[in-house]
């Protein structure tokens, strides 16, 4: 997952509103949003190469999502980052205990940002930091750096999310995730991947022959715990592959 913008508003009619794009190589096999056969209380897409996921919901209001941290100079981890989301959603460990375990084992994975939460609290852990942080109410964004790192696409997506929060609807969230406009050269970050790749990755929605936005997800959680989740899947050059809608 390479872009997540979200509003965390405990006490509000919609305490959690999420718009997220998963960017990945098209050749990596995956399944769209669905209940997991071995854990029907989990609703998430699935990475068929390593078995994990990038975003999903579980029992008792559990929510988790992650993004990778872009660092071409860092070797890959020995384990797939997607298992961090999967283990939280399929398990029952309290958030603080789960995050303590993740912090202790973070070096086993490549760089990542992890969001985990439930109806009462939402936490963020950046693998480059010493500890997880419980988030205060607010509007946040994650891409492939730290929380709220002001990359152009993150600023654009957060602003677009703010504009629809009075009456958040899945189609409006999916629309903001579909912005394929790249950033001006002068505004590009330098993450060590070269100008052409920085340009490709600078749009909210990424499309190319081999790599791009594979899934766009809109999640709206109501104060009573019910939720509405819509995911669109894409192939090379942004070709639309399908849409899944879940109400729980």
Single pTM value for the model = 0.95
Q: Is the dihedral of CA 54, 231, 22, 208 positive or negative?
A: positive
Q: Phi first, then psi: what are they for 156, rounded to 5°? A: -65, -45
Stretch 186-198: mean pLDDT, rounded? Answer: 90
- Dig out the tokens for 90 from the structure: 């399929």
| CA–CA distance, 228 with 20 (Å, rounded to integer) | 14
* Confidence grade of residue 1 (pLDDT, cut at 50, 70, 90): low
- pLDDT (tens digit, 9 = 90+) per residue, 147-191? 999 999 999 999 999 999 999 999 999 999 999 999 999 999 988
For the domain covering 3-247, report its CATH number. Answer: 3.60.60.10
Say if residue 71's pLDDT is above 80: no
- Among candidates 57, 54, 86, 40, which has minimal Cα distance to 226? 57
- pLDDT (tens digit, 9 = 90+) per residue, 108-131? 999 999 999 999 999 999 999 999
Are the C-beta atoms of 3 and 202 separated by less than 8 Å?
no
Stretch 5-15: mean pLDDT, rounded? Answer: 96
Helix/strand/coil (H/E/C) assignment for every residue in the chain: CCEEEEEECCCCCCCEEEEEEEEEECCCCEEEEEEECCEEEEEEEEECCCCCCCEEECHHHCEEEEEECCCCCCCCCCECCHHHHHHHHHCCCCHHHHHHHHHHHHHHECCEEEEEECCCCEEEEECCCCCCEECCCEEEEECCCCCCCCCHHHHHHHHHHHHHCCCCCHHHHHHHCCCCCCCCHHHCCCCCCCHHHHHHHCCCCCCCCCEEEEEEEEEEECCCCCEEEEEEEECHHHCEEEEEEEEC
Q: Phi first, then psi: what are they for 99, rounded to 5°? A: -70, -35
């Amino acid at each position: 997952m390479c872009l997540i913008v979200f509003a965390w508003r405990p006490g509000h009619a919609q305490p959690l509103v999420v718009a997220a794009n998963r960017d990945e190589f098209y050749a990596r096999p995956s399944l769209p949003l669905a209940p997991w056969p071995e854990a029907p209380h989990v609703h998430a897409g699935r990475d068929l190469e390593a078995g994990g996921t990038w975003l999903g919901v579980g029992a008792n209001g559990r929510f988790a999502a992650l993004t990778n941290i872009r660092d071409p100079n860092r070797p890959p981890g020995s384990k797939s980052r997607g298992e961090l989301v999967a283990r939280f959603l399929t398990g029952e460990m309290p958030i603080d205990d789960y995050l303590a375990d993740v912090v202790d084992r973070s070096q086993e994975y490549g760089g990542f940002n992890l969001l985990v939460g439930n109806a009462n609290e939402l936490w963020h852990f950046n693998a480059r930091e010493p500890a997880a942080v419980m988030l205060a109410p607010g509007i946040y964004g994650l891409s492939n750096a730290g929380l709220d790192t002001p990359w152009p696409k993150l600023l654009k997506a957060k602003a677009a999310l703010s504009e629809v929060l009075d009456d958040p609807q899945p189609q409006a969230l999916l629309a903001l995730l579909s912005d394929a406009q790249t950033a001006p050269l002068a505004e590009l970050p330098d993450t060590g991947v070269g100008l052409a790749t920085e340009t490709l990755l600078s749009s909210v929605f990424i499309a190319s022959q081999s790599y791009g936005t594979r899934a766009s997800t809109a999640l709206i959680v109501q104060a009573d715990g019910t939720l509405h989740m819509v995911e669109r899947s894409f192939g090379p050059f942004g070709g639309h592959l399908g849409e899944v809608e879940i109400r729980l």
